[in-house]
Structure 1
Amino acid sequence: MTVGDGKSPSLSDEDWEHFARDSEQSIRESAPKEPSARARMVTERLRQQDEEAAKARRKGLGGLLGRGGRNVPPSHPEGWRTGPAWQEMNGKAARKRRILGGIGVVLVVAVGAAIVVNPGDIASRIPGGWGKDKGAPESSEGAATLGRPFAGSPAEEYADGAAGIVLPEAAAVGGASKEQVASALKLTKDFLVAANLDPATLRGERPAAALELLDPQQEEMITKVNAGLRKPDRENDPLALFSRFDPNEVRVVGDVVKTRGRMTFAEGKDGVVTIHADYTFVYPLTKKENGSRQVARTIVRRVVDTEILDPARFSVTPGKLVIARHMMDIGNTTCDVHDGFIHPGFPRLAGHGEEEGESGPSVDPYDRSRGLGADDEDRQGRCGKVTRT
């Protein structure tokens, strides 16, 4: 297996165009020569059959789609907000890694090899096209409904809930054994599930299962978390770690939250092993009031770094989770409200996403190729508009 630092650089449009041109040239050069007369006759006959079948399909599709032949979904100009800057625990400074020279060639080869194994994760990092989670082709798009709450969004292709959090194969690295790495990976997944998928957490209840996993010796962090749950404000916002909705306002549609992301681990400074988790959660919601049929989606992306620390060198509790850094980005929520809940906007609410204070740039919340880190200063702590939900 390959152990990485969890930060996957994306290809620039120019690099991708070069790659596409080179691939096309290689295909042309390796193509077979002029076929025989018999082969040409067979090919022409098949082509004619394909054309006739295509005409029949288009005729039938026109009837299904109705006049105009298009099924255009409504727009959802909802708001987004980012969480606070990277949270620093135990006085440790953030570590920035830069990879210089030769990365273009190595990355192209990696994309070509990995896309067979995990097309969803790798494709979401390719600039442009559907690979950037641009969504399904237009003909398959549609408005979200109670029966199909993910219709018309890339989330239709995401995994269901915890099934989308696939752990990498554990291996000994740094000062940690294979067993220690496996245990820490499982703890990290358990925390992500409890903090972002547990129905009680989503209903705005105290996230007891997630809190139980945290190392009590991270006293500063535990204090901030409890303060935020007790009396949330801008400085102590439980949304920094937990996905919570006001039960008096909305409810989750069905029992499925869509998930996509990746988890890696690597040795860092002084032999400390860091687990890097980067996941997107898509929540379908409807208003609490009886008879409501409107569906809105909120997209939460979380980056969480946990660490495996040697008890002989650090004050840690065996079997508990040490969070080194965390950050979040929420697509479709009311900005500048810090009451501990996500407040989604619903379609046809005029002006939502364009209110005063939402002055940040537009963002596609499904685009996992964009960075989400301390260097993302342009969007840090700001509100703005999402291009879709």
Structure 2
Amino acid sequence: MSPDDFFTQVEPRRRPRRRKLAVAGITVVVIAGAAGLVSAKDQVRELMATVESALPGIGPVPEETEAVDARPEELGPFEDSRAENYANGAAGLVMPPAKAMYGLSKKDVAAALKRVKQLMIASHLDRTTVLGGRPKAFIDLLVPEERAWFRKNLDRKSGFTAKDDFNTRAWVHSFAPKTAELATDVVKVNGEATLARHPDGMKVTVNYLFVYAIQRPGQPWTRHRVVAHHLGEVHVSKQGGELVAWVYDWNTGSVTPARCDIDDGFTHPIYPDSPHDEVAAKATEQAGDPYRLDAGTSENCTISEET
């Protein structure tokens, strides 16, 4: 399998729908007689006056009509927040420029960075995964050995061994099923990726914020923002002539605001009427800034942090 085959990417693109307003008008055709004492222009005036009197309240018909929305403009879900100026979705996942380094060619480095970006899209932007479904897009990007381990430990609640003691759901960002729906298709993204030497080749470290606008299903008045801080590390090397990207760590370090008293790998949003979360309440007392990229790798979640 060639590096190009190993690193393929499919990025879905949603095209926004446009609404079109149809405006009905009246078309008047005037035929003037050759012997008429009134000019064609006067005939048009007379006919328009007749139309206006027959349709009281409408008034003169303008040449161009522009619809006016009298409803107050609703603020977007990211307005008046620091996420407002973040890039939209995958556009915020900017990778360093590719160049030959650490025993890898420029082509190898470019392919590796492409794979890392794919991994972040699959783990934090794939709609099925984000809404609590099976993270197939992420699973398909893993190397075979890691893929088998991820599948075995996905959503595991018991039966762990010393070797397999981890619920791999924590490697992707998923809201617990039926707890949230996206208020908009846009997810705001900000962060960076850095490259360094690894004993077998290159290490790619990613540090990104993903800001979601969510609401309780069917309840738009519960809309709020959730900030997920993602930290990851991928080791890239050549093995048997093939380029291999091994996910060494892939973790959502903190989510704000979210419940802390449920440890199942999913994000459980907090709403105004949610049951009291004693763990999250204590964490909130010492909460940091959810928008800081240098906040470290400690996991925490909070109730009332402003986002």
| TM-score range normalised by the length of the shorter chain | 0.5 to 0.7
- Are residues 1:338 and 2:263 paired? yes
State the 1:206 CA deviation.
Answer: 0.8
For residues 146 and 226 of structure 1, the distance between their equivalents in structure 2, rounded to whole angstroms, comes to: 45
SS class of match (1:343)? coil
SS class of match (2:238)? coil
Structure 1 pair 307–341 and aligned structure 2 pair: CA distance change class (3 A)? same
State the 1:152 CA deviation.
Answer: 2.5
Unmatched 5+ stretches in structure 1: 1-144, 373-379
> Which has the larger Rg?
2
1:83-122 CA-partner distances (Å, limit 9, x unpaired): xxxxxxxxxxxxxxxxxxxxxxxxxxxxxxxxxxxxxxxx
Unmatched 5+ stretches in structure 2: 1-72
Taking the TM superposition and a 5 Å limit, the aligned residue runs for 1:219-238 are 222-229=148-155, 231=157, 235-238=165-168
SS class of match (1:213)? coil
Percent identical among aligned pairs is: 29
**Aligned position for 1:388:** 306
For residues 204 and 159 of structure 2, the distance between their equivalents in structure 1, rounded to whole angstroms, comes to: 29
Given that 1:232 and 1:338 are in contact with CA atoms closer than 8 Å, whether structure 2 keeps it comes out as no
**Aligned position for 1:359:** 282
Aligned length: 228
Taking the TM superposition and a 5 Å limit, the aligned residue runs for 1:1-389 are 148-218=76-146, 222-229=148-155, 231=157, 235-268=165-198, 270-289=199-218, 291-312=219-240, 318=242, 321-327=245-251, 328-346=253-271, 348-349=272-273, 355-356=278-279, 358-360=281-283, 361-372=286-297, 380-381=298-299, 383-384=301-302, 387-389=305-307
1:279-303 CA-partner distances (Å, limit 9, x unpaired): 10001101113x5322121111111
Cα RMSD over matched residues? 2.8
1:288-320 CA-partner distances (Å, limit 9, x unpaired): 13x5322121111111111112214xxxx9465
For residues 152 and 326 of structure 1, the distance between their equivalents in structure 2, rounded to whole angstroms, comes to: 30
Given that 1:283 and 1:297 are in contact with CA atoms closer than 8 Å, whether structure 2 keeps it comes out as yes
For residues 293 and 337 of structure 1, the distance between their equivalents in structure 2, rounded to whole angstroms, comes to: 25
TM-score normalized by the length of structure 1:
0.53
For residues 255 and 249 of structure 1, the distance between their equivalents in structure 2, rounded to whole angstroms, comes to: 17
For residues 256 and 170 of structure 2, the distance between their equivalents in structure 1, rounded to whole angstroms, comes to: 14
Given that 1:233 and 1:338 are in contact with CA atoms closer than 8 Å, whether structure 2 keeps it comes out as no
1:163 alignment partner AA: A
Given that 1:287 and 1:294 are in contact with CA atoms closer than 8 Å, whether structure 2 keeps it comes out as yes
The structure with more strand, counted as a fraction of residues: 2
Structure 1 pair 233–189 and aligned structure 2 pair: CA distance change class (3 A)? farther
Structure 1 pair 209–350 and aligned structure 2 pair: CA distance change class (3 A)? closer
TM-score normalized by the length of structure 2:
0.66
2:155 alignment partner AA: L
